[in-house]
Each structure stands twice: as structure tokens, then as C-alpha cells.
Structure 1
Amino acid sequence: MNRSIRKVAVLGSGVMGSRIACHFANIGVEVLLLDMVPRDLPEEQKSNKAARNKLVNDALTTALKSKPSPIYDLSFSNRISTGNFEDDMSKVSEVDWIIEVVVERLDIKKIIFDQVEKHRKPGTLITSNTSGIPMHLMCEGRSEDFQKHFCGSHFFNPPRYLRLLEIIPGPKTDPAIIDFLMHYGDLFLGKETVLCKDTPAFIANRIGIYAIMSAMHTIEEMGLTVGEVDRMTGPIIGRAKSATFRTMDVVGLDTTVNVANNLHKGLQNDEAREKFILPGIVEEVHKRGWFGDKSKQGYFKKTKDANGKTEILELDLKTYEYGERTRANFKALEAVKEEENLKARIKTLVNFDDKAGEFYRTTFYDTFKYVSFRIPEISDELYRIDQAVCAGFGWELGPYETWDLLGVKATVDKMEAMGFKPAAWVYEMLEVGNDAFYKIEKGIKHYYDIPSKSYKVIPGLDELIILENIRETNKVWGNPGASVFDIGDGVLCLEFHTKMNSMGAEVIEGIQTAISMAEKDYKGLVIGNEGPNFSAGANLAMLFMYAGDQDYDEINLMIAQFQNTMRLAKFSSIPVVAAPAGLALGGGCELSLHCDAIQAHAETYIGLVEVGVGLIPGGGGTKELALRAADSYVAGDPELNRLQEAFMNIATAKVATSAEEARGMNILRPTDGITMNRKRLISDAKKKVLELHEAGYTQPVERKDVKVQGVTGLALFEAGINGMLFGNYISEHDAKIARKVGYVMCGGDLTAPQEVSEQYLLDLEREAFLALTAEPKTLERIHSILFKGKPLRN
């Protein structure tokens, strides 16, 4: 059957339901969101439709106001219609997929399914977002068609941002339905879609909660503090920034405890069942009702000092009183302070001979042992465990990947010495000469298949370009800040690998070299990477040094070189496609603006933010937005409106909070693409390069017909700037920067609107940028960013 999803019904509008509805609206699907009629309606309101829908409407409104937003663009909420179970359940007959997201009680779910069966069309998908109720129990008493089209579809909260979608078949689910959902979750919802068995807590929560509880027991035994643990268990080992205790505060300690208690109760045959028993440092905090953010205190508490300044206190795990936050002063952490490579950091930390090293060994080895015993119980394939934990809990490396990194055989020996002996199949794997859980062959990642004692391709990855897998074999050029890879079919890929992928001399050289190589021997170039961020912008440290020395000739040369490199990206003889994801700020945005096309990940946060450091976009960004504003003029529309929009985006350092919002800001054009799944981004960008090449790519030429407004536009901008200044919304220095932006975008003080060249605007841009580097207040702003890590408004 050729199945498509045009309309979805989401049953239940709580935190998960409302946000799942928003994510389907994000991808263009029409959504019907239903919930109960409020129980306490006065008699006179029982026939009032608005009153009957109050619960669902309030829930959706709350979701749309929440931060971070569950929706790419507020206008997308128009794709969601609301109703209630009593009046509107019949409308599920019009949808292609029904997703149940009501409270985690089997009796209530069964009542909802009874209602669904009265109206559901045969063949309609029906799934549950349960996090733990077995599929077979929910299927009891249901029709054959219902059971055939029913399974679990477990999203993680928040659904827009967390990449995991667990698919759990029921006892009679049609395999074709599972195949469809696995594909749909990957391609359209942008998820790491993981097939799970119908076991308690499925995969991610089973392993993730075990890792947390194992760590909690270790923390209690070793007498570690909250601050020490969160320093040790965050980004330094490739885990979420919220680490351990802050994550429990955000998620809610009651949620973690409920899952742990249910696992302890339900896992009668789990060899490590006792680890799910709450240690004192969890039980006591839970007993006091300190659940975290939802109860205004947990392992951390936000308060105000005597001066009214907000401060965050930390819970003392011995006295259960709040005090100043503690710091982790371990030699292991000092040893990796300057190490940017995650794998190198982990190797050092786990093998370090101090208290931190002991903590890492104990918790890592215990998790390694646990996951080895979960095969084949929760999954037949080890790679699914890594995929689920990484996507659901934000780990950069899964348990098996980390074990590989440390050396399987060497680690097994150390595990045995500490009493963490893994499952028998690990020894059998080593005995037949296989010393790793994964290996790369011809750029494709394989996993160790336990039944066949051989390596097999991880399904789906063979069609993707994973730079990590071709790093050793396909690199054709590199310097310390950038690398160029041959990604096949006559296409190159340029990857940045500086800190935050900032754009300094090495990256500039990389752009120039990659374009030169592509022009000579290839069809085109992709500029992208697999890191968290595309690029956080230009390297400010060098600029700050030159400005401090008042070496303006050198700064002028820097700007000119940067502009020329951006021009090279725009006017090369081959198609250049930018593939931004994460942060694409300042110079990262300017580079994207100058490429022939952008293929952006949906979660791209892009914008020209230079005013925050006292500058204007100097790499052609100001010019490019002025050009795009001019190109967007239509008959009958006041031209200054379009220009003012572009001006405000620069003057307020506006950053798009999604690729869709970037399209509304004219950073992404209608022809630019958006990729939902981050893993597909480089592959999709390569396809875009080949499309441009095969369509008969023609080298662009410099525009000389950019319409600018001159003094007419300047007068409008001046009025707005003065109004903001007199209202104390901006500082004098903000006003000075804004005037520079306006001057460039209007083409200077020309007496009448006229057409100018791109180079003319670039020259104005460079002059304005250079002038601002001589301003003491600009240097103060740059200093604050570089040395304090936060913006200064002076």
C-alpha cells in the first residue's frame, strides 16, 4: 500500500501531546488535537464549544508560549485544529495516523481506544506514546485491523529537539507498518528512529535510567558533591550540558524516580535489579518533594541575594541544606582542560589515577557490563542501544562506542579486576579474533552481529555520507583548521574544525583551496560538518589584537581578504552549497548567504550578530541583505518596508530560531532546502550540488543593478534610531552602529534612489567596519565576549 501522512490526530494535549502536535505542524502536516471536556463546567457552559475545548486550547497556548519553542514559526500553529473527545472523536475517521498521548494508565488508554474503534477507518495507523506500558496489554480486546496497524511510537520530550523516536511493535503489528514508521520518522520527522522490543522502558530509558541510578549509587559511596558530578558528567565526556543533577531538575526528579521504581518492580530477572533501588541522595530529596524546576527547588535552587541579584545554590548531599556551588578540583579534569578532541579526553579521564578517574571507571564499566547483558533481551543488535541512548539522552558516544574507544579486550580485563564481568558473548567475540563492536569498511560503518559472529552494515547508513567514517580514507587536503574530503560523484566537502568552527586564517585558506580544487577537477563543493555548529563566526581574537595595537592597515587587509573569499564562494565556476546546522552566526551566516544554495538542517540558528560586538557585518552580509531587499521589491509595495525589515534584522542582531524562520528573514531563499534529519544533511547538500551541476550551472557575474535608497532611506532609519535612543531602548554606541548599517544599506548619502554595484556596497561596508574597530566601546564589547563569554551593552 502506498501510504502518505496528510493529517494526524493527537489524542491528549498535555506537555507531550501538544508538543508532538506542534512538531507535525512543523513539517506541514494538518493536526487534530483532542482532549477531555473540563470536568467542572458550570451548567450554563456545557453547550458552549469554547468552554468545552478550554483544556485543549489552554494546553496548546501554553505550549506555543513555552521556551524553547516547540514550533518553527508561530504561523504554523494554524495547521493545528482543536477539539474534545466527546464532540470531535468522529473526526479521527478523516486522518491517516492517530497518536494516543493520554495519561500513563492502561484503563484510561483502553477507554480512549474503545472510542477510537467506533470511528477509525480500517487501515489507519494507530500508535501510543507510552513510555512503558506493554504493547500486548494495550492490544487486548482490539479488532484485528486495529492490532495490525497498532504499535508504540515513543517520542522523547521535547519532541522538536530530542532526536529519538522509539518504534515498538505489538504482537500482531504488520511488519510493513513498522517499516513505514521507521522510514517516516527518519526522513520526515528528522528522528533517530530505533526499533525496540516490547520490554520494560524499551531501550533508551532502560539504559539511560540505569546509568543515572548506577552513578547515583557511586556518587553516594564516594561522597561526591552535586557540583563535582555535574562538571564530570557533562560536555567534558560528550554528554548533555545539563549533566546529571541539572538534568534531573529539568526533567523532574519524580519522573526519574517513577521510572526507576517501575523498573525495579517489573524487572524480576534483571541481574542488576538492585541498582534501580533509590540511594539515599535520591530517596531523601524525593521524599521532601524537591522535584526540581517544577517545585522551584531540587538539587539546585534559584534564589536572590541581599542585593536582589539572582544566584543559584547547590544542595549539600550530606546535610540537605543549600549553599554555594562547589567546583570540581580534580587533576584528571585539569589534564584535559585544553584537549578539544572528545575521544582523547575520555581516554585520559577513564585511565587517570585520581578520584575522578575512579568515578569514571566505576560508572563506565558498570554500564558496559549492563548493556552486554541486555542483548538479546531488549535488542538483538548492539548498535540500536547506542543509537537510542545517544538520541534520547544526548550522549555523543554510546556505551558500545565508548567501550570500543577504550579498547574492548583491555577494558574487559580492567572490568574483571573491578568486579564488572560482562556477558559471555563478549568473550566469544574476542576469542574468534573480533576485537571491536564496530568497524569501518569502505567508508561504511559495520556492527558486530552476535548470532553470526560477523560484521554487518548498519541499516540505512550505506546511503548516507558520514564524514567521520571517511576521515582516514577520503581526505584530499587539510590544515589545522579545515579539511577537504572527496565525497564521491565528483563532489568535495569542506569541513571546519576550529573551536566553535570560528573563521580565522586557516578556515579562509580552506575555503579558497577547496574552491580552487573543485574548479579544477570536480563538479562542485559542499561546505558543512558533523559538529554541533556550522560556524560561530569570525575569529575575534586576532581582530582584537590588531585593534588594540591600532594596526588598521592590517585590519583593512583582513576585511578585504574575508570579503574576497566570500566573493569567491559566490562567483566560482562550480556550484557551492552551504550545509549549516546549529549556530551559523556572523561570518558563518555571511558564507551561507554567498553560496549558490543553502541546504540547512531544520535546527539551524542563523543570523548576522556583529552589532553585539560593536561592529557591522563586514564580509558581505550587509551588502547581501541590502541586495535581497532590493530584489524583493514588488509594484505597489513601499520599497522602504522591505529594506527596513532587513536593516532591523542586522541592527537587532536577530538570529533565526529555525531554518523555517530564516526563510522568512530572507536568509534562506525559496529555492534553498531544509533537511529534517541531521545525519542526512551532507548527503542532501551533495544532491543539491549535483542538481545545480546537471542543470547546466553557469558561473554568476557581479551585480551592478542593486537598487539603493540613498538619503530617503537614511532619513527613515535616522528617525527610527532617534526614537529608540530617546526612549532609552538603545545606547549611544548602539545608535552609532545602527547608523553605519543604514549608511551601507542605503548606498551612502546619495541624493536619490539609484542602482549601484555589489563592489560599491562592499567598499562602504569595509569602511564602516574599519571605523568601528577604532571605537573604544567596540573594543570593550569584543573584550567581554572573548574574556567573559557574555555580551556587553555599553
Structure 2
Amino acid sequence: METLVAEKIQTTGQKTHQNRPIRRVTVLGAGIMGSRIACHFANIGVDVLLLDMVPKDLNDAEKAKGLTLDNKNVRNRIVNDLFQAAIKASPAPLYNTSFANRIVLGNFEDNMKDIATADWVIEVVVERLDIKKLIYEQVEKYRKPGTLITSNTSGIPIHLMSEGRSEDFQKHFCGTHFFNPPRYLRLLEVIPGPKTNPEVIDFVMQYGDRYLGKTTVLCKDTPAFIANRVGVYAMMSVIKATEEFGLTIEEVDKLTGDISGKPKSGTFRLSDVVGLDTTVNVANGLYNNLPNDESKETFKLPAIVQKLSENKWLGDKTGQGFYKKIKNAAGQSEILSLDLKTLEYRPQQKARLSVFELTKGVDDLKKRLQILINAKGKEGDFMRATTYDLFSYVTHRIPEISDELYRIDQAICAGFGWQIGPFETWDALGVQTTVTKMEAAGKKPAAWVYEMLANGHDTFYKVEGGIRKYYDLQAKGYKAVPGTEEFILLDTLRGNKVVWENKGATLFDIGDGVLNLEAHTKMNTLGPEVIEGINKAISIAEKDFRGLVIANEGENFSAGANLGMLFMFAVEQEYDEVDLMIRQFQNTMMRVRYSAIPVVVAPAGLTLGGGCEMTLHADRVQAAAESYIGLVEVGVGLIPGGGGCKEMALRLSDAYEAGDIELNSLQNAFMNVAMAKVSTSAYEAFDMKYLRRGDKVTLNRSRLIADAKESVLELADAGYTQAKQRKDIKVQGRTGIALFKAGIAAMRYGKYISEHDQKIAEKLAYVMCGGDLSYPQVVTEQYLLDLEREAFLSLCGERKTLERIQSLLNGGKPLRN
């Protein structure tokens, strides 16, 4: 199979300039990383051979069956067990469970010869040079000349691994360091060996970007490369500062979480998830192998880390680390926190530092960073100490680990999940101002920073002519960030490419006659400003442009409609206002579908409720692979009211025409909505009928808007004509309603759902089946929209629905009343 995925799912991607198709990959080593790397190649449609060791002894189950060590199942037991553990893991390594069929399992002794058919061999065995070299000897016996051979090592020097190998092996060998979990963390560090053919590096960099969806960062062959070198330094610096300033682990996890543009888990929780042993191994390796690093003492393990390591309190994998999950006296799960002073676990304490009140409601990350760095008290001291320490450190790593500063930012963002990197953060705080404060704190940056400022360059990045540029040390000026030429980055267009904007949305001209509408409300909810923006964007596009993309660069496409306004009207029993809101939303979604120009919606991340409904009504969807799409309104006591029920009924009607089994498909779609199921990827969304044949998937999120623009142009070039509303939707009427009511009653009888759940589900069934019709027949879209709106309105008058909405608005979990 080619690198493009299966027939029904079209994945965007262009061939790299070299004629090197990757049809089959062999992964050597089926541990946590190897099995998941194999899964990610399967995700993109590649056939994978996954190999591991042959067992030396029979286990009890095999002995009981009378098996011998020669039995094939015994010989593949290790790889089978590791692979089964991987595909059952959470988060899931596969976009769709069916993709597991693309992976064939084997062992090093029986199947090493099969690598002769591989286009790429990836070694992911234990981090020991002697073992890797033994594996490479076997590889050389069977690999065909020209086959790529790469190592996923996280720390062993690349030049040591290729020593003694043939010339062809060394020319085609390099490091490809994926981050765990490979499906979700976007970083792929590519590390050339001393004899690696430059064309091989160029190919791997492009392939990782276009096909694997990665941020590919070219690294030097230095200890821990870039991301771990900087990321682990930052972690160790934070852990030491925690003790120095007398903060709790909850306070530090809040300070180093999403409030400061880092993963929500924060430092200590992240350590538990990754495994403290991993951090310890990298830190020890760096401490022992960096004689010329001026800050190497930071890598020396703090006493608390040393103690946890000795106790084998390594985090989630051992059941306890900085946090510990237990069952309390009531049998409920409870998470305890480690007291760093007593080394005893105690109930979690809510982090209540005063700075958290100051940042509450501040959505702009750069403004929050200003508040954090200027905070008073121990939290401000902590933020300044760790931030200035990191700034100083990264300046001294150039040119040691990278000649260009942007690579450090890319690596730390893609590998550790930071929203902006150290140099971008520094820009947000003001470079010159921060340098002065760093000097006062004894954390002077490297000399090149002073030279940059002296030459009148006061930022590390700038935008010129719509192009993002970085300060280049060698050129002593700014250069375009390489690799982004084909991306469309909205932040670079905020100058002279804004066509229209209001508080909640901005309309950009992204070139070639295409507009892009960006929502920027909280969680990109679809309030009045965004609804206005959609209608305005379509009106402008119909007059002067070829088409429209609806997309943003936020973490999530949209969490749905604005529940706050709906709740306010419903509580006041202003049902005419609620009715008007629903009509406006429905009309806007229908305008997305029935405009005179092609409209492509490009979701990524959470695409829920109204965000899903907008996706359903697009002429085409260009979805990021990591799109989590679903109609979740029942969770707040409602049903989809923006055309979601209508659209599912329409799609099922079309499926009937294609020969699908009517009631089975209807039941599956009903359960998806009634249970508020959300796809775990764009690929699963096809199975749930949230995406259709013709919709496309983009692996690299950075390419999403550019790919969506190409979809608009493709539709326009094909002679796009405005469609007419449908009047041929087949619905089941009472036949379907009776089926669903029986199932709903059984669930209520078994106490799986509440009485209010039953009421919501019955209204959903009524709408999706087309209402009280005596037999299956054909209806119009508007008929279904009216049913949908009436049911939605009636639920807005239910006290229990209002209680559910209020619970969610107050930051609580969905209420099951």
C-alpha cells in the first residue's frame, strides 16, 4: 500500500521531491516506543513489520498447553503481548482500531530476513550501544542497498552506532527520535551521522512533515539532542526552585501548567506520566557527558528526586511518584500529593496563590506571562528565577546544539507541548527589559544577545511582508523561518490582510481569491459575534472571492454554542429569544451549506456541538487528524439544535440509497448522539458519519489552513455551483420511534439512564425519525429543522436541563440528574 491511506479516507500529502516511496516499514523492537511508532506508520497507510525477541523459556500457560519453544505462537509471544498492550493503551496509538491490520508481527530470528522487502528500517531496541550494534549486524545481512535505516535513540551518539558498518549503511543511516506518544507529540528530531547522505536527511525531514504530521527539527549529534537537553534542564531547574522558594507541588504544577503556556499537567504531574526514571536517566546522562556545560550542576539530581528514584516511586508506572492514587474509605478514587518536606503523602491542596486571581479571565497568553513574571511574593520569585535561568541557558546552547534559535523553540514546543518556546516567551516579555532584570538576578545571557541588541535588533522574531523571520547569529539579521513557506500562518497576516473583524472573529485574505474566517472567542464558542462573522464572510466571499475557509490556529476548533447566553434567556423564560437564537444558528449553518461559493471547514482538536454542526454543513471538510468531533448536546440536557439531527437523518437517507441496512444504521447514529460520543480522531469520524467520502485529512496541523485553501480552489476550479435544499430525505417515522423507545425504556428499567435522560433520548428519536409519521416517507430539510428547533425549545423549559447547563457553566462536570 502506498503512503496514502485507505480508499474511503483521503489524506492530504504531496510526494517529496525524491522518488522514494515508503510502502513498507520494519520496526525493530516492540516496546512502548517501538509498538507505537509502528502504529503511527500504520495510521498513515504504510504496511509495517514489527519484530522483537524470541522467548528463552515457556510460561505457565504454554507449558499447560504442552507447547514447545519451536511453536510459532511461543516464538512470537513477546511481540504479541507488547503489541496487544499497545493497541489497548490509553491514549490510543491508532487513529482507528482497524488500522492494526496493517501491522504484521514477527521475531528477530525468524523474520529478520523479511526486512529485504522494507523501504525503511527503524531500530527501537533498548538504549545500549552493544545491543544496537548486534542488531545492525543482522540488518546488514538482509537489507537491500539504499534502504533507509534509522535509530530512535534518545541519547546514544549517532556516530558511535554507525561505526564499522558498510558505506551504503552509513550513507542511509541517521537518528529519528520520536517523542512518546508518537501519535500525539509532534516532534521528530532528525540527527545526521558523519557520513549520512544529505539527500537522505532532506527526505526524512520532508517525509516526517508531510506524511507523519511532525514538526521535524534538524539536530546536531550532541547529548540528548535539542528537546530533552532543554526540556529536562527546565524540569530540573523547576524542581530545585520549588524547594528553594517553599512552594507545594500543586502550586508549581499550576504555575508551570496552561496558565504559563505549558501542558495542563504541569511539571510534577508530567514527570509522573512520563516516568521519573526517564527524567533521571536523561539528567544523569547529561550530567556525566557535558564537561563544558556552564550549567551542568542543574542536571545533578536534587535530593527529592534521588529519594523517589531509590524508593522506585517513579510515577504512574509504579502507582506513585509526586502523586499517588488510592481508594479512600468510601471506595472512591482519591489522588494524594507528596509533601516535599516530610516525604509523606497527604490530601491534595488547592493552589491558592494570589497571582491566580490576577490571571483569571486573561485569555491572552502573552499578557498572562507579563502578570506572572511581575508577580509579588514567592510565586513571582519562582517565576523569575526559573524563567531567567532558562533564558540564559538556551542562549549559551547556540551554536552548541543548534546554529539557529528557532530550532530550539520548535523542539521544545513540539516535544514538550509548550505553546510558545523560550525565545518567543522572551519576546513577549520584552528582550531588553528582561536582559536588565536577568543581569540583576545573576543570569546574564550569552554575548550574542548583547550584540543583537547593540545592532538595533530588539526581538528574536519579527513579521515582515507576511513572513515570519528569526534573528540569525551568522547573518546578524533576520531570515525567514525555513519550512514554513507552504504554511498559512494567520498571525503573520494580521497587518494588511484583514478584510473584516469584530470582537469574536477575524476575516483574512489568504490569497488566490480565498478568505479565512477565524473565531477567537473563549474555546472558540459560536456566540453572536462568530455567527455574524460567518454570515459576513459568506456575503463578502460571494461578492468578491472564490471561496471561504473556516479555521483557526487555536488548540480547539470550537467547543460549541455559547451556553451562557442560552442559559440566561431560558432562565428568564424568554423563549422567543431562544427561538430566535436557534433560527439564526440553523439559518447560518444552512448558509454554510447553500452559499454561492465553496465553504471548507477545517476542524482540529475539540469540535463539539455547534462546532460539529458547522463541520457537518461544509461543502468539504479538511480535518486535522487529531480532530475530536461529536454532537454532545445531550450532556447538557438538550439535543443538537443547529441542524445536527437533520444532517444525520439526511446522511442516513443517502446511505439507504447506497444499500445500507436502514434501521441498523439509524440506531448507530442515534446512539452516537444519545451517548454524546466523540470521535477519537478524524478517521473514526468517518465511521460515525461526521465526515463523508470526499472529506480530507491533514496529518500536519501546521499545514491545515493551506490544505483547506487548496480544497476551496479545487472545488472552485471544478465549477462549483450553488446547491438546492434537499426535499428527498427518507425518514422512518413511527417504525423507528418504536424501536428506539423500546431500547430507551429498557435502559431506564435497568437504571442505566435517568428519567430526564429518557425524555431527552425520546425527543432525539422523534426528530431523527422524522416525527409522528405512520410509515417511512420522504421529507424536506426545513421540515426536520423545524422538528429539531421545537424539541430543543421544549427542553430549554425543563428545570433539569437548566441544572445541567448551570453545572457546566460553573466549571463542574456534566450533571446526570
TM-score, with structure 2 as normaliser: 0.96
1:22 match? 39
> Within 2, Cα distance between the matches of 1:47 and 1:322?
49
The offset of 1:328, in angstroms, is 3.1
- Aligned with 1:244: secondary structure? helix
1:592 match? 615
- Aligned with 1:314: secondary structure? strand
1:211 match? 234
> Within 1, Cα distance between the matches of 2:101 and 2:597?
40
Contact 2:57/2:69 (8 A) holds in 1: no
**Cα RMSD, aligned residues only:** 1.2
1:176 match? 199
Matched, 1:10 2:33: no
* Amino acid aligned to 1:3: R
Q: Give 1:688-699 correspondences, 5 Å limit.
A: 688-699=711-722
1:313 match? 336
> Within 2, Cα distance between the matches of 1:636 and 1:507?
39
Which of 629, 634, 639 is equivalent to 2:662? 639
Q: Give 1:341-740 correspondences, 5 Å limit.
A: 341-634=364-657, 637-740=660-763
1:33 match? 50
> Within 1, Cα distance between the matches of 2:238 and 2:797?
52
* Amino acid aligned to 2:381: E
Which of 48, 64, 69 is equivalent to 2:71? 48
1:98 match? 121
The offset of 1:44, in angstroms, is 4.6
Give the number of the structure with larger relative contact order, counting CA–CA contacts within 8 Å between residues 6 or more apart.
Answer: 2
The offset of 1:786, in angstroms, is 1.2
Matched, 1:129 2:146: no
CA change 1:722–1:331 in 2 (3 A) is closer
1:228 match? 251
Which of 138, 146, 158 is equivalent to 2:181? 158
Matched, 1:746 2:763: no
- Aligned with 2:512: secondary structure? coil
Q: Report the more deviating stretch, 736-745 or 162-171.
A: 736-745
Size of the alignment, in residue pairs?
794
* Amino acid aligned to 2:458: D
2:359 match? 336
Contact 2:559/2:608 (8 A) holds in 1: yes
2:9 match? none
> Within 2, Cα distance between the matches of 1:671 and 1:509?
28
The offset of 1:512, in angstroms, is 1.0
Long gaps (5+) in structure 1: none
- Aligned with 1:674: secondary structure? strand
Contact 1:630/1:643 (8 A) holds in 2: no
Which of 247, 259, 266 is equivalent to 2:282? 259
1:774 match? 797
> Within 1, Cα distance between the matches of 2:796 and 2:474?
65
Contact 1:199/1:378 (8 A) holds in 2: yes
Q: Report the more deviating stretch, 780-789 or 325-334.
A: 325-334
Contact 1:330/1:354 (8 A) holds in 2: no
Contact 1:13/1:34 (8 A) holds in 2: yes
TM-score, with structure 1 as normaliser: 0.99
* Amino acid aligned to 1:393: F
Q: Give 1:284-299 correspondences, 5 Å limit.
A: 284-299=307-322
Contact 1:52/1:84 (8 A) holds in 2: yes
* Amino acid aligned to 1:501: N
**Residues 490-543 of structure 1 deviation map (CA, whole Å, 9 limit, x = unaligned):** 111111111111111111111111111111111111101000100000111111
The offset of 1:399, in angstroms, is 0.7
The offset of 1:38, in angstroms, is 1.0
> Within 2, Cα distance between the matches of 1:198 and 1:509?
52
Contact 2:245/2:381 (8 A) holds in 1: no
**Residues 108-160 of structure 1 deviation map (CA, whole Å, 9 limit, x = unaligned):** 10111111110000000000000000011101110000000000000000000
> Within 1, Cα distance between the matches of 2:351 and 2:771?
54
Contact 2:123/2:152 (8 A) holds in 1: yes
> Within 1, Cα distance between the matches of 2:421 and 2:658?
56
- Aligned with 2:485: secondary structure? helix
* Amino acid aligned to 1:400: F
The offset of 1:634, in angstroms, is 4.3
- Aligned with 2:221: secondary structure? coil
**Residues 599-646 of structure 1 deviation map (CA, whole Å, 9 limit, x = unaligned):** 000000001001111111000000000000000114664322222222
> Within 1, Cα distance between the matches of 2:293 and 2:596?
62
Q: Report the more deviating stretch, 464-473 or 104-113.
A: 464-473
> Within 1, Cα distance between the matches of 2:537 and 2:380?
42
Contact 1:383/1:447 (8 A) holds in 2: yes
- Aligned with 2:271: secondary structure? helix
> Within 1, Cα distance between the matches of 2:377 and 2:151?
46
> Within 2, Cα distance between the matches of 1:515 and 1:741?
31
Matched, 1:149 2:166: no
> Within 2, Cα distance between the matches of 1:336 and 1:734?
37
Contact 1:623/1:765 (8 A) holds in 2: yes
The offset of 1:727, in angstroms, is 2.2
> Within 1, Cα distance between the matches of 2:800 and 2:433?
56
> Within 1, Cα distance between the matches of 2:189 and 2:593?
42
